[in-house]
Structure 1
């Protein structure tokens, strides 16, 4: 990089690169913008000049000429939820790797706020939007038919007009329930169900729980299901207290997110109920706090980093026109996995084999 007589660094320009490479400014611009109709030898000569001078393209100017802002949006219900805060962090990282910045919006999970965001003036500031709705439902699919790139996150609207990244809610909850069954637990309570919900994470995770019970030949007992509209730690603590007040016997808990699970651990500790000896507990989301609970929380990991990576890449592909204009909506399914920690006991089969070995 060049310096003047006082040692001050000089910023290289397109004209400097053109002079060093012995080509026109237009040719340098074509190379910088990756136009294909440039001879390989010329392209290589320009790139060598760029490297030698330390030339940095003016990304803002390029984006304005292309009609882009270099900004994508992320709309989530509430950043107070650890899941959404950590998802936002993963999106920021994935976007940064693609030279995009992220504008984050909170909708509060309110249907009207979500609908207003999709059609509001703020969308003009973005090249595209990653959208995790909570208030919208199947009937609102038409609202997603907007005039800019949009990628849906979550499980509120299937078969909509946009690309959609989903996590395996049914499979993940079934996996967690089978893990509890494998530990010899048969009275498995559920915390955080949403009454009357047909779509969304709560309904899908409850379905996975029911499917796993059916596989094991265990009847579904509605007395073991505690509904809670909110999914914060306070809701988990209160849901556990309600379950204890019902007086129904239970030996395990599937909390429909980690916040609920962490709250339930507090109430169990207050009642001197040992985890996992008396009651095993599994959460969902694998938020960072789950590994620092006492005991540490077994949980379903929906693979947030992968969700963010796929979603950002899908959005950037739409923004850059790398997907044919007539291509229909794409569905990306991200697999979940179970993270084993202290809140679940060793499976019965493993205990038996250990005894046999002795």
Structure 2
């Protein structure tokens, strides 16, 4: 900082004011000159010293179960941009959807690594989460309501599943596949969205055919393999509710390879509204789970907790709505 001050012909305090955004009494010309010298000298803040002084690292962690997932990749990108606008770095970890790794990430976040941590829950349950004694903010993201001790941002998976399936049924489909569905196994993305699938049938006086609930994985290859196998086995169906957009993309490829027209012969609805779904052929009808609003909510809660000094207030629980994005894969 002294080097920058000397080169720019100002005091070290002026450089400090410019670097830290305290520029009310600094002229525009001085700010420009200091910024130019900073670029020329390659000056960087000493983050370790700054962290010691402020009691913060300026970093927030995000744990996701799959780094290669389109959905989690786009979520991380949104959060990274929003935090960066507020001078905070987001560090993303891969928990691989394992309970032990999720717990390790939460435990490490309570040491000196992060100012706060965001965990997309895949495996952890309330009993494990309740063992964490937080001294820093923790926000849970997940499909189901778990420990009430933490801030939690949830997605309306049941409502979204019912909306997707209902759209197919209302467009004339009567044999709808739940691609990636699961009828049992506790609360998870798969069971909750499948519950919505079943609710849509019951709400229209229709029965659910268990052979059309395909308990597969949720990525593109899983969707391709499952729909290919169903067609090859000669099982009739005229609709697909894919529990993720990724599996829907695989289903579209499988149907195209077998000469089945979408939406004329089979209609398809996904869930997540990832960017690629606007560019498939045909473009994918899908459920939008408030992606932008979710990122805004997470950042708002984290900033509130950081400003108040940690998890000292009543935990906040937010259930964000879903909406149907109608494109070209339904009639």
TM normalised by structure 1 equals 0.80
Provide Cα deviations, 1:77-102, integer angstroms capped at 9, x if missing partner. Answer: 11111000000000101101211001
Alignment of 1:218-229 (within 5 A): 218-228=206-216
* Aligned pair partner of 1:189 in 177, 181, 196: 177
- Tell me what 1:231 maps to: 218
Deviations 1:276-310 (A, max 9, x none): 00000000111111111111111111122221111
Of 281, 285, 298, 1:294 maps to 281
Is 2:152 the partner of 1:164?
Answer: yes
Equivalences for residues 44-123 of structure 1 within 5 A = 47-49=24-26, 53-54=30-31, 60=47, 63-120=51-108, 123=111
Task: Check 1:11–1:214 CA distance in 2 against 1; reply closer, same or farther (3 A cut).
Answer: farther
The alpha-carbon deviation at position 139 of structure 1 amounts to: 3.4
CA contact (8 A) 1:17 1:49 kept: no
Task: Give the match for residue 341 of structure 1.
Answer: 327
| Counterpart Cα distance in 1 of 2:178 and 2:105 | 34
Shift of 1:259: 0.9
**Cα 1:178/1:194, change in 2 over 3 Å:** closer
Listed as ranges, the matches of 1:161-310 within 5 Å are: 161-194=149-182, 196-228=184-216, 230-310=217-297
Alignment correspondent of 2:316:
330
Q: Over residues 219-271 of structure 1, what are the superposed CA-to-partner deviations in whole Å (9 max), with x where a residue is unaligned?
A: 1111111111x211110011112322453321111000011111111111121
Alignment of 1:346-357 (within 5 A): none
How far apart in 1 are the matches of 2:91 and 2:69? Answer: 18
Bigger mean CA offset, 65-74 vs 300-309: 300-309
Could you say which residue in structure 1 is the equivalent of 2:39? Answer: none
Unaligned residue ranges in structure 1 (runs of 5+): 19-28, 33-45, 346-358
Secondary structure of residue in 1 paired with 2:87: coil
Q: Which has the larger radius of gyration?
A: 1
Is the CA contact 2:152–2:316 (under 8 Å) kept in the aligned structure 1?
yes
8 Å CA contact 1:12, 1:53 repeated in 2: no
The match for 1:9 is: 8
CA RMSD of aligned residues (A): 2.8
Count of aligned residue pairs for this structure pair? 314
Structure 1 residue 195 displacement after superposition: 5.8
Shift, 1:132, TM fit:
0.5
Q: Give the match's secondary structure for 1:342.
A: coil
CA positional deviation for 1:189: 1.0
Any conservation in 1 of the 2:110–2:136 contact (CA below 8 Å)?
no
TM-score by length of 2: 0.86
Q: Secondary structure at the match of 1:129?
A: strand
Q: Whole-Å Cα distance in 2 between the matches of residues 182 and 162 of structure 1?
A: 39
Structure 2: segments with no counterpart, 5+ residues: 36-44
CA contact (8 A) 2:158 2:196 kept: yes
- Contact 1:170 1:205 (8 Å CA) reproduced: yes
Q: In structure 2, how many angstroms separate the alpha carbons of the residues matched to 1:292 and 1:266? A: 13
Distance change (3 Å), C-alpha of 1:52 and 1:134: same
- Note closer, same or farther for the CA distance 1:283–1:164 as it changes in structure 2 (3 Å cut): same
